[in-house]
Structure 1
Amino acid sequence: MNTTFDPALDLTEHLLALLRQTPAGLSEHQIIRQLKDGHCSHIPQLPLSDKLVLFRIHFMLFNALYRLRDRLWAERSAHLEISPLRVRLLSYQDGQQGLTEHDPLRAYYLDEAHLRDTSEADVAHLLQSFWTRMHGGEEQQAALELFGLEARTDYPAIRLRYRQLVSQHHPDRGGSTSRLQSINKAMEILERYYNRG
């Protein structure tokens, strides 16, 4: 798709046009690439290898996406699913989507002070924090899978499942020592994640 964008239009209008042309949705990277290729005046023609430039483009994009989602919801015309991996338009439906809970990401991206006040050092810190969480998140997910639990399980349920597994796999009851060690290691990871260790 090769679109040229009208500089008089707001970024939300450009996004709406792109998303209407692609019902399956687009990733954040695809949206940025199409906006840059179409010479959208809202996206600077600067190298994305610069972390501060990339952060600012990312911020402007998500600010516009959250504003568009609010507008579409108020018009009762569509629901906008927003994530870095896929942004897509969905049909409007009354009900669960209409329940307004506090959305920390929406609050962050709609506060333009974050765009103005974030320095290159702040971006470096955000990236380091992201990769630390990603690594820890993979460990946590693997530990929960070993326990046969879902990601949103609370700590008391994890503790109960741990006791059940230890009882079931203890060598004194015919279980395997290596399996018990895996269960204990998984519990250490989960305690660290839940700040109980």
Structure 2
Amino acid sequence: MNPDEYLSLPPLQRVLLQHLLNQERVDSTPYSEYDLIKILRTECPDTQWSSTTLPPELRLFTEHFLTMHSLYSLREWLAQRNYHLAISPLSITLQPLSPTYGRTLADTDPVAEYYLDIRNLEHMTVDEVNRLLASFWTRLNHQGGRESALSCLGLQHDATQEEVTRQYRKLAHIHHPDRGGNSDHFIALREAYETLKHK
């Protein structure tokens, strides 16, 4: 990909793309959303991204939303250049485009549709953030828990128990706090694995 092509991208997308392209050359370890948030905190301190005037819950949600918004916007841009950006909270990778991903995401993916609509951030409040978090954990612990847990582990809906165990061990190794990983991500992985063990 010609570097001049992405100079016109918004700052967050440009930074993300530069790191994803570099990661593709350096090693095969995927970025997590948390990895990319840390990068954006460092490299984009003067944007709407790092507003310290927001309440903590809303600031964290804003960082999460803007990261996902940028990733899904970037995924559409990359699809036109024969790349697919695979997005899950713990595994974000750039891959050659395959026929499976030939459509735009907003047409087929409600998660992408949510994050591509910036109005979902503009109208967010602390109460709404807390409601979303409560709703997420309720779904995870009930009937829809399998899909949420599989998504957390970056797995497809038809993953076998063996694949679940293998993926959990791989991600737990990468994100374990003793190895410099994020404890919140590690806990989410563990809870997703425990959910899938009982489904």
Q: TM-score range by the shorter chain?
A: 0.5 to 0.7
Equivalent residues in 2 for 1:41-60 (5 A)?
41-42=46-47, 43-44=49-50, 46=52, 50-60=56-66
Q: For 2:117, give the aligned amino acid.
A: D
Equivalent residues in 2 for 1:99-178 (5 A)?
99-100=103-104, 101-136=107-142
Identity of aligned residues (%): 31
Q: Distance in 2 between matches of 1:74 and 1:26?
A: 22
Query: Structure 2: any 5+ residue segments left out of the alignment?
Result: 1-6, 148-155, 159-197
Larger Rg belongs to: 1
Q: Distance in 1 between matches of 2:11 and 2:157?
A: 38
Confirm whether residue 79 of structure 1 aligns to residue 84 of structure 2. Answer: yes
Q: TM-score, normalised by structure 2?
A: 0.60
What residue in structure 2 maps to residue 98 of structure 1?
A: 102
Q: Distance in 1 between matches of 2:144 and 2:39?
A: 31
Change (3 A) 1:81 1:139: closer
Aligned-pair RMSD on alpha carbons?
3.3
Q: Distance in 2 between matches of 1:109 and 1:139?
A: 21
Q: Distance in 2 between matches of 1:130 and 1:10?
A: 30
Partner-residue secondary structure (3-state), 1:82: strand
Q: For 2:93, give the aligned amino acid.
A: R
Q: TM-score, normalised by structure 1?
A: 0.60
Q: Distance in 2 between matches of 1:121 and 1:34?
A: 28
Q: Which moved more, 1:14-23 or 1:95-104?
A: 95-104
Change (3 A) 1:116 1:39: closer
Is the CA contact 1:48–1:54 (under 8 Å) kept in the aligned structure 2?
A: no
Q: Distance in 1 between matches of 2:14 and 2:61?
A: 21
What residue in structure 1 maps to residue 72 of structure 2?
A: 66
What residue in structure 1 maps to residue 23 of structure 2?
A: 22
Return the offset for 1:47.
9.8
